[in-house]
Amino acid sequence: MTSTVPAQTGNGVAQVSVNPLRAGIESNRITEPCTIVFFGASGDLFKRMLMPAIYNLRLNDILPANFGLIGFARTAYTDQQFRDYCKQCVDEFSRSKPVKESLWNDLAQRISYITANFDDTAHFETLAKRLEEYEQQFGAGHNRLYYLATPPSVFPKIVAQLKKAKLDPEHSPNGWSRIIVEKPFGTDLASAQALQAEVEKVFNESQVYRIDHYLGKETVQDIMALRFANTIFEPIWTRNYVQSVQITAAETLGVENRGGYYDNAGALRDMIQNHVMNLLALVAMEPPASSDADAIRNEKYKVFSAIEPPSPEQVFQMSVRGQYDAGTIGGEAVPAYRSEPDVRPDSNTETFAALRLNINNWRWAGVPFYLRSGKRLARKVSEIAITFSPIPHRLFGEKSDTIEQNVLVIKIQPDEGISLRFNAKVPGQKNHIRSVTMDFNYGTGFGVQSAPAYERLIADAMRGDATLFTRWDAVERAWEIVMPVLEVWQSIKDRSFPNYAAGSEGPQAAHTLNPGWRPL
């Protein structure tokens, strides 16, 4: 009645039973039981993103039936106080408001909290006991997902404590243990390598899920669908037809309440090294052999390995930095970066970074990839623009007509969609040519609202699907690429700072690096 099929496991090929009732029924539900432990559960990320994501996963019946959640942080809460806090997080930040009481009551009984000091092994032993109780009480099995939603400085400490308390994979033979690590993974190459050294003492690479929430966005996932589920784009996706690629992640917001963190990070570390580089990899990678996580991640790594990091002498030709001054956004006056809370008044931190990178392989040799990211810019927009080569010979159009190059724009946020610019004849006796656009918009095209990235990523980590997470070799290589820029910028103070007004297109020098930036 139940049939069996061969399945690949860590130990070779085993027989697993197939549920005959599953045929023809699509389900997103995660089947394996699991307890998720949130380190840093009293923090901002948990409040705004993670707890609302967990609730929505339950609301959409994606969480496994046997599920538990344990919060672990410094702030003193009782279990009931923490449950109330979680409910408040959902009420305030969930996309599905208000909380469905009946569902909440079921979820709340699976939530508990440990007031803890990350230095104290005894608190991790309490966690071990709690996990055992969950396994009895909720049938959560021995599958554990640890989520590090803490400042990066305590990542190594938590990982080491998990081992001491025998909560590491080696001491969990009856289930899996995985760890989700929030960005930034290190603050430079050396610190990332040091962190990795600590992590790999306890978890092997297949158990580490380095989260970059950009990769969980539907439109980012659609980059691969656009390229590899269509035949019309891939043949022209090469140096023979593409003149340049621009990747923009621009924000109108300033540093908000993250001045302390941001002033030690800057745009290069905060956005370029991770989010923007990941977008570059998706645009530039070769078609993977399969949709398997490692097949995709191998191709992404190959892109990074084909990028030659700039030499210190090249840094100023290949990069531009900026810092915002006071200005006006949306009709409202906003302060200069150096006047933001927790920012040093003489700060040399960049709030704008632009790079030109070259990918030295057969597909992309000679095609510049322009990357830019900044705060307090004219418009909030994240997009990838592929500009195709000009026509080789002009046949149409009056002399006064500009024949514009074709541009394919993958719009990531706030609009989600794809736009193609091409030229068309203006109706009439004359042969005027004008550029027009063909637009696809996710919202109107499918009539659905995309789920927040964290929902997809947490569910994927529970399923053991690492496709949308960054592998260590890619993280390390991305650091290697940006390190020369980081080092030169750190060693040479930019005396022109602040060099762009809030609400503007960024520093003037960015237009020297690339005169063809798309307007914000």
Partner 1 sequence: MSPIDVGGLLEELESDRRDRGGISTISLNVVAFVENDEALLHWLAESSDEFAEAHGFRIIVLDASSQPVTHSVRTHYKECNDTLMTSLEQVQLGVKGISANELRSVVHDLLHPNVRNVLLWGGEHLSDERFSALADFSQRVIIASSRRTSGLQALREVVQLADTHVVERVRDTSYMRLLPWQDLIAQFFDEPDLAEELPNLSRISVASGSEAEAYYLAAWLAGRLGWNPCGHLQFCDASGRPVRVDFRKKGDPRRIRGIELQAAQCTFGISVSPDADDLICLTVNGRKQRPVHCVPLHDVDIVSLVERAIFSPDDGGVYLETLGVLRKLLEFSA
Measure the CA angle with vertex 393, ends 395 and 408; round to 5°: 95
**Could you say which of 123, 171, 275, 393 is catalytic?**
275
Query: Quick one: 42 or 66, whose CB is closer to partner 1?
Result: 66
Chain residues in the site for partner 1 (CB under 8 A): 1-2, 16-17, 19-25, 27, 29, 31, 58-59, 61, 65-66, 100-103, 105-106, 137-139, 437, 439, 441, 444, 446-448
Cα 384 to Cα 52: distance, rounded to the nearest angstrom: 29
CB of 210 to partner 1, least distance (A): 29
Cα 271 to Cα 432: distance, rounded to the nearest angstrom: 42
End-to-end CA, the chain: 61
Beta strands in 389-501 (DSSP E): 407-413, 417-425, 433-441, 500-501
Cα 246 to Cα 409: distance, rounded to the nearest angstrom: 9
Measured CA to CA in angstroms, residue 196 lies from 188, 212, 476 at distances of 12, 16, 9
CB of 282 to partner 1, least distance (A): 25
CB of 448 to partner 1, least distance (A): 7
432 is annotated as an active-site residue: no
CB of 456 to partner 1, least distance (A): 19
Cα 29 to Cα 40: distance, rounded to the nearest angstrom: 26
CB of 100 to partner 1, least distance (A): 6
Query: Quick one: 64 or 259, whose CB is closer to partner 1?
Result: 64
CB of 2 to partner 1, least distance (A): 5
Cβ-proximal residues to 142 (8 Å cutoff; 6+ apart), any chain: 135, 172, 174, 175, 176
Query: Quick one: 20 or 330, whose CB is closer to partner 1?
Result: 20
Query: Quick one: 56 or 323, whose CB is closer to partner 1?
Result: 56
Supply 26's token pair.
Answer: 């699509």
Query: Quick one: 40 or 64, whose CB is closer to partner 1?
Result: 64
* Residue of 452, 492, 478, 170 lying closest to 305 (CA atoms): 478
Cβ-proximal residues to 2 (8 Å cutoff; 6+ apart), any chain: 17, 18, 19, 20
Query: Quick one: 90 or 486, whose CB is closer to partner 1?
Result: 90
Residue positions annotated with a catalytic role:
275
